[in-house]
């Protein structure tokens, strides 16, 4: 049963900046309070690790991963890498690249990855090796090279910035092997990643996300259950 619920991070609706999740694990900011931690556990139904990257809690900005692996940016400290390796049961590695906001420049699920055009040569090999994806492409969507910031995808479906063209939506569906549609979070924000954290078990959206936005997300991801749209 997939459930969708609203959540904030200490009053901030941009929850995707402070959290990242797959079907195997979730990583949340080291600054997350107990309420945030408990609801991530409850809705996403996976082990949750509190962590930092580069001594900041912006884990959603810096991390990319799937059910096979997790990539950290070069700014990750040694103790942070060790904590990740102890805390998640997948392959963990550092992407030795000048690009550090991996969560903003890469969109990935278990099947494929789409990379910022300028980061493609630096990251394509490590993405394949660590995340085990079948295909890696480079490109922009809706004019944005920061493809990870404007979309979310898992093993069920994907949602992307409302300015994405029909052709781009079709391309994403074919690449990732799941249906895609356009949408927004947090009352019209097209930067989907900033306001959505989820996996195939549950989805959390920023608490400014409206009823119509939740309905669109619910239909796309096949959300069911009594938690739909509940404020947390």
Q: Quick check: 230 pLDDT over 60? A: no
Q: Quick check: 83 pLDDT over 60? A: yes
Residue 224 binned pLDDT confidence (cut-offs 50, 70, 90): low
Percent of the residues in the chain that have a pLDDT greater than 90, as a whole number? 95
Whole-number mean pLDDT of the chain? 95
| Longest distance between any two alpha carbons in the chain, whole Å | 45
Query: What is the three-class DSSP state of 218?
Result: helix
Q: Which residues contact 18 (CB under 8 A, 6 or more apart)?
A: 9, 12, 28, 29, 31, 32, 36, 57, 58, 59, 60
Instruction: Please give the Cα distance from 46 to 65 (Å, whole number).
Output: 15
Instruction: Please give the Cα distance from 18 to 100 (Å, whole number).
Output: 16
Q: Give me the domains of the chain, ranges plus CATH numbers.
A: 3-221 (3.75.10.10)
The answer to whether the beta carbons of residues 131 and 66 sit under 8 Å apart is yes
* Long-range interactions of 211-216: CB distance < 8 A, separation 24+: 213/183, 213/184, 213/185, 213/186, 213/187, 214/4, 214/6, 216/159, 216/181, 216/183
Question: What's the Rg (C-alpha) of the chain?
Answer: 16
Convert the pLDDT of each residue in 15-26 to its tens digit. Answer: 999 999 999 999
User: If you average pLDDT over residues 141-166, what whole number do you get?
Assistant: 98
Specify the pLDDT at position 223: 80
Specify the pLDDT at position 44: 97
Position of tokens 């239909």? 219
Instruction: Please give the Cα distance from 203 to 229 (Å, whole number).
Output: 10
Specify the pLDDT at position 22: 98
Q: Quick check: 231 pLDDT over 90? A: no
User: Quick one: which of 192, 207, 37 has its CA closest to 217?
Assistant: 192
Specify the pLDDT at position 2: 83
């Amino acid at each position: 049963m997939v459930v969708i619920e609203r959540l904030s991070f200490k009053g901030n609706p941009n929850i995707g900046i402070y959290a990242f999740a797959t079907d195997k694990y979730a990583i949340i900011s080291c600054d997350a309070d107990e309420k945030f931690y408990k609801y991530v556990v409850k809705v996403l139904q996976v082990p949750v690790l509190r962590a930092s990257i580069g001594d900041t809690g912006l884990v959603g900005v810096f991390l990319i991963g799937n059910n096979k692996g997790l990539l950290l940016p070069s700014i990750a400290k040694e103790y942070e890498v060790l904590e990740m390796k102890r805390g998640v049961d997948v392959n963990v590695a550092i992407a030795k690249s000048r690009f550090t906001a991996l969560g903003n420049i890469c969109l990935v699920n278990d099947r494929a990855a789409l990379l910022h055009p300028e980061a493609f040569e630096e990251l394509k090999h490590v993405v394949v090796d660590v995340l085990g994806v079948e295909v890696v492409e480079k490109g922009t969507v809706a004019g944005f090279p920061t493809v990870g910031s404007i979309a979310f995808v898992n093993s069920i479906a994907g949602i992307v910035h409302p300015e994405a063209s029909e052709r781009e939506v079709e391309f994403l569906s074919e690449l990732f092997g799941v249906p895609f549609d356009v949408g927004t979070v947090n009352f019209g924000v097209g930067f989907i990643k900033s306001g959505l954290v989820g996996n195939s078990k549950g989805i959390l959206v920023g608490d400014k996300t409206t009823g119509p936005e939740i309905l669109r997300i619910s239909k796309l991801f096949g959300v069911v259950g009594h938690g739909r749209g509940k404020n947390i």
